[in-house]
């Protein structure tokens, strides 16, 4: 490798983690951090057991249960009513003991969605490689880490070898000029990006988000954007670490301290892409043009500004695309030309690894304050971690939300994918701050509209999709 | 992992784009601690109605596609989550090869780890193969990995590209972990180098 060639942030992290380059270009890539949860790990632990292998680096691994945990009632595995969910969590607890993996128990205040707690605890650090058997591992890229989701076979591979066999991805630069206007959030920005480049636009690429519109975001906003890189087809998203990043990392439980922090900082400052570094593809967006967004279909790229209408398949030339649009409209129960703001809402979900941070709860509470959830609407707020919940309660946000008629729950992935009891019913329409609007994602037959936390709260109080800018 | 050399079998046409992993295997079926037994839930919501009865219009509920070993679809197959339950469900049903214009990255990768061959071919070729597949049991396709060709029922051969390393692993049914462990000395040396260069990187066993 040539050190003189200007390199991107991705190139630098990649080069620093190549253990060995095989003749065909496949690399043995070193993994610094392995995050483990209960859904995608049991078969990996079983594979190790069958082969008589141990974990190579338990001290680079951390486990937490997050998908199956009920958000009401006692916080212990034995109390999980659904048998399969209980077995999965108990299996994780057995496996971490047997293999000596550090584990954050459900009762611990630090428990939460793995992608919320990684950054929150300082486990996710700039310049590192981070993997997890979960596609939203892309979240951690907001810190300037190369973080991506892997399947269970690769989970086992990392457990056994602390490496993965990979070929470098292509570099995709998404430059966001200017800053977001009133009422538009990081969620709206990333939905606009996906709408522009499509859900396959990032396939084979790692996205680097740059420009004033990204630099101006706080860490929570950057995590929201990076989180949904996978919805744009990219396994990983990256934001170059800067003063915002360093201030966020400093002092966190697992982050380096004192002289070690200063040493780390000196290294982290070398990470941003060099001037003149080459990207395979560049996309430019103007943040000022981003309005609050709402999805209308069953893929995250099927998105319009809240002021828009349900699109008309008759205007689509390609027969296949037209049929796909019609199929989405049928599933979603929508008629072309309907104003998005006229869509009634049955359920509101505020939470997930996309929007379950304290900043998201604050945005929702700001809209909910002094208002009431509309008659007949069920509105759930599920903090992303125990620490987020505690902080929100310290700020009195739980009371604001409860007084407005929202339900205030315990941390879990919850209604993002309904592996715990939080689901929507067939035909119900949900304004959700999660990341996927796939058919049946939140429950069989359920209809999901992806929105920002403020937009979700606005939908809750008006009982229909609402332009949060109108609420003032 | 089973070897993949050649495969001759019934191909099921599934002319849909963005077939996501929730469609392949909904999240409620991920609560298993095993790899096997997921085939019955493959494409659950497309395959069964709310009462659990088969939808006769869905391709895999029809003869001869109940015995399909090849699936042909449209763009961005396997998008969404990293759940390996998706290839496990396909494999458990009997699918060993998927042909589509392109695949989501994680799904593509996961397929190889389970002895499933994902083949990228241009949309027009996929559409031609879908027409072949619609002819049913008399129109079997052959996939020859060694020669990198798909053979149509009329004998026409279509070349496909594949990464040589992945091809090697699949042809020989090799376990990735075994391969990587041959590099153990290099991994040891790398770790020592990193510890020296970046001593600040804390462990997860204790907070710094």
Q: Which residues of A touch B201 (CB under 8 A)?
A: 32, 125, 128, 256, 264
Q: How far apart are CA A256 and CA A128, in angstroms?
A: 13
pLDDT tens digit sequence for A55-100:
999 999 999 999 999 999 998 899 999 999 999 999 999 999 999 9
pLDDT tens digit sequence for A258-273:
999 999 999 999 999 9
Q: How far apart are CA A202 and CA A374, in angstroms?
A: 39
Q: How far apart are CA A113 and CA A360, in angstroms?
A: 15
| Residue-wise burial string across A256-284, b where 16 or more C-beta atoms lie within 10 A, e elsewhere | bbeebbeebbeebeebbbeeebebeeebe
Does A154 lie at the interface with B, CB-CB under 8 angstroms? yes
pLDDT band per the 50, 70, 90 thresholds, residue B1: confident
Write down the pLDDT at residue B86: 98
CA A356-A362-A366 angle, to 5 degrees, is 135
- What's the gap in Å between the CA of A302 and the closest CA on chain B? 12
Does A157 lie at the interface with B, CB-CB under 8 angstroms? yes
pLDDT band per the 50, 70, 90 thresholds, residue A3: low
- What's the gap in Å between the CA of A247 and the closest CA on chain B? 17
Q: How far apart are CA A135 and CA A310, in angstroms?
A: 29
Q: Which residues of A touch B77 (CB under 8 A)?
A: none
Residue pair A66/A412 in contact by the 8 Å Cβ criterion:
yes
pLDDT band per the 50, 70, 90 thresholds, residue A237: very high
| Residue A287 predicted with pLDDT over 50 | yes
Q: Which residue in A123, A203, A436 is closest to B104 by CB distance?
A: A203
Q: Helices A186-197 and A453-462 sit at what angle, rounded to 10 degrees?
A: 100
Write down the pLDDT at residue A320: 86
Write down the pLDDT at residue B29: 95
Does A46 lie at the interface with B, CB-CB under 8 angstroms? yes
Q: How far apart are CA A100 and CA B77, in angstroms?
A: 37
Interchain pair A46, B180: CB under 8 A: no
Helices (H) and strands (E) in chain A, counts: 17, 19
B 81-140 near A (Cβ less than 8 A): 81-84, 87, 102-106, 109-110, 113-114
- Rounded to a whole number of angstroms, the CA Rg of chain B reads 20
| Residue A132 predicted with pLDDT over 80 | yes
- Determine which of B73, B201, B206 to mutate to test the interface with A (most A C-beta atoms within 10 Å): B201
Helix H or strand E encompassing A164: strand A163-166
- What's the gap in Å between the CA of A204 and the closest CA on chain B? 6
Does B22 lie at the interface with A, CB-CB under 8 angstroms? yes
Does B162 lie at the interface with A, CB-CB under 8 angstroms? no
Q: How far apart are CA B12 and CA A358, in angstroms?
A: 47
The count of other CB atoms within 10 Å of the CB of residue B186 is: 14
Look up the ipTM and state it: 0.94
Taking residues B3-20, report their average pLDDT. 96
pLDDT band per the 50, 70, 90 thresholds, residue A297: very high
pLDDT tens digit sequence for B74-87:
999 999 999 999 99
Interchain pair A39, B83: CB under 8 A: yes
Q: Which residue in B74, B80, B113 is closest to A438 by CB distance?
A: B80
Write down the pLDDT at residue B207: 57
pTM of the model: 0.96
Interchain pair A51, B27: CB under 8 A: no
Taking residues A389-396, report their average pLDDT. 98
| Residue B161 predicted with pLDDT over 70 | yes
Distances (CA, A) of B77 to A229, A336, B12, B17, B163: 17, 27, 14, 7, 19
Both tokens of A448, joined, read 């999901």
Does B174 lie at the interface with A, CB-CB under 8 angstroms? no
Does A117 lie at the interface with B, CB-CB under 8 angstroms? no
Does B55 lie at the interface with A, CB-CB under 8 angstroms? no
Taking residues A394-420, report their average pLDDT. 97
pLDDT tens digit sequence for A148-158:
999 999 999 99
- What's the gap in Å between the CA of B122 and the closest CA on chain A? 15
Does A438 lie at the interface with B, CB-CB under 8 angstroms? yes
pLDDT band per the 50, 70, 90 thresholds, residue A472: low
pLDDT > 70 fraction of chain A, expressed in percent and rounded: 99
Q: Which residue in A40, A91, A321 is closest to B82 by CB distance?
A: A40
- What's the gap in Å between the CA of B108 and the closest CA on chain A? 10
Both tokens of B92, joined, read 């458990």
Residue A261 is classified by DSSP as H
Tell me the sheet residues that pair with B99: B72, B119
pLDDT tens digit sequence for A21-53:
999 899 999 999 999 999 999 999 999 999 999
- What's the gap in Å between the CA of A75 and the closest CA on chain B? 19
Size of interface A-B (CB pairs under 8 A): 213
Interchain pair A125, B26: CB under 8 A: no
Q: Which residue in A24, A68, A122 is closest to B165 by CB distance?
A: A24
SS3 of A11-72: the string is HHHHHHHEEEECCCCCEEEECCEEEECCCCCHHHHHHHHHHCCCCCCHHHEEEECCCCCCCC
Interchain pair B180, A163: CB under 8 A: yes
Write down the pLDDT at residue B208: 46
| Residue A131 predicted with pLDDT over 90 | yes
* Closest chain B residue to the Cα of A118, Cα to Cα: B204
Write down the pLDDT at residue A166: 95
């Amino acid at each position: 490798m040539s050190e003189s060639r200007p390199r991107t942030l991705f190139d630098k992290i990649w080069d620093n983690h190549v253990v060995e380059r095989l003749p065909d270009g496949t690399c043995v890539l070193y993994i610094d951090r392995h995050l483990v949860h209960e859904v995608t790990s049991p078969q990996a632990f079983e594979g190790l057991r069958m082969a008589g292998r141990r974990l190579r680096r338990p001290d680079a691994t951390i486990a937490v249960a997050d998908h199956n945990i009920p958000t009401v009632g006692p916080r212990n595995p034995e109390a999980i009513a659904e048998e399969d969910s209980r077995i999965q969590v108990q299996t994780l607890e057995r496996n971490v003991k047997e293999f000596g993996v550090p584990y954050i128990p459900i009762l611990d205040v630090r428990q939460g969605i793995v992608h919320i707690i990684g950054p929150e605890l300082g486990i996710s650090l700039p310049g590192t490689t981070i993997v997890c058997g979960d596609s939203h591992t892309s979240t951690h890229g907001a810190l300037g880490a190369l973080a991506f989701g892997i399947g269970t076979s690769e989970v086992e591979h990392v457990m056994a070898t602390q490496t993965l066999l990979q070929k470098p991805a292509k570099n995709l630069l998404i430059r966001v000029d200017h800053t977001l206007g009133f009422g538009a959030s990081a969620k709206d920005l990333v939905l606009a990006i996906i709408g522009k480049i499509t859900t396959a636009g990032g396939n084979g690429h790692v996205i680097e988000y740059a420009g004033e519109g990204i630099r101006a975001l706080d860490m929570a906003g950057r995590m929201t954007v990076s989180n949904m890189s996978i919805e744009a087809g990219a396994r990983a998203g990256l934001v170059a670490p800067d003063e915002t990043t360093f201030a966020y990392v400093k002092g966190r439980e697992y982050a380096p301290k004192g002289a070690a922090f200063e040493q780390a900082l000196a290294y982290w400052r070398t990470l941003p892409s060099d001037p003149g570094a080459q990207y395979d593809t560049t996309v430019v967006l103007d943040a000022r043009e981003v309005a609050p967004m709402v999805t209308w279909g069953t893929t995250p790229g099927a998105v319009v500004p809240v002021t828009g209408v349900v699109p008309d398949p008759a205007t689509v030339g390609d027969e296949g695309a037209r049929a796909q649009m019609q199929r989405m409209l049928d599933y979603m129960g929508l008629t072309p030309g309907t104003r998005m703001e006229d869509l009634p809402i049955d359920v509101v979900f505020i939470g997930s690894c996309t929007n379950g941070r304290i900043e998201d709860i604050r945005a929702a509470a700001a809209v909910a304050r002094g208002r009431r959830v509309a008659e007949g609407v069920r509105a759930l707020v599920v903090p992303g971690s125990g620490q987020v919940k505690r902080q929100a309660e310290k700020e009195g946000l739980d009371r604001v939300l409860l007084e407005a008629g929202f339900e205030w729950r315990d941390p879990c992935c919850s209604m993002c994918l309904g592996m715990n009891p939080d689901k929507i019913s067939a035909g119900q329409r949900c304004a959700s701050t999660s990341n996927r609007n796939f058919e049946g994602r939140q429950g069989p037959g359920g209809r999901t509209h992806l929105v920002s936390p403020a937009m979700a709260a606005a939908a809750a109080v008006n009982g229909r999709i609402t332009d949060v800018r109108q609420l003032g | 992992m089973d070897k993949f050399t050649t495969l001759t079998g019934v191909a099921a046409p599934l002319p849909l784009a963005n077939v996501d992993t929730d469609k392949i295997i909904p999240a409620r079926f991920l609560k298993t601690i095993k790899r096997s037994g997921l085939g019955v839930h493959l494409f659950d919501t497309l395959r069964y109605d709310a009462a659990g009865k088969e939808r006769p219009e869905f391709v895999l509920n029809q003869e001869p596609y109940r015995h399909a070993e090849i699936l042909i679809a449209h763009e961005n197959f396997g998008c969404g989550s990293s759940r390996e339950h998706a290839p496990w469900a396909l494999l458990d049903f009997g699918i060993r090869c998927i042909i589509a214009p392109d695949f989501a990255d994680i799904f593509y990768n996961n397929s190889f780890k389970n002895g499933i061959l994902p083949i990228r071919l241009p949309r027009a070729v996929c559409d031609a193969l879908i027409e072949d597949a619609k002819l049913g049991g008399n129109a079997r396709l052959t996939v020859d990995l060694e020669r990198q060709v798909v053979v149509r029922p009329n004998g026409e051969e279509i070349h496909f590209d594949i990464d040589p390393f992945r091809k090697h692993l699949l042809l020989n049914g090799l376990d990735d972990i075994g391969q990587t462990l041959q590099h153990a000395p290099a991994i040891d040396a790398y770790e020592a180098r990193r510890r020296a260069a970046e001593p600040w990187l804390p462990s997860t066993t204790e907070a710094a």
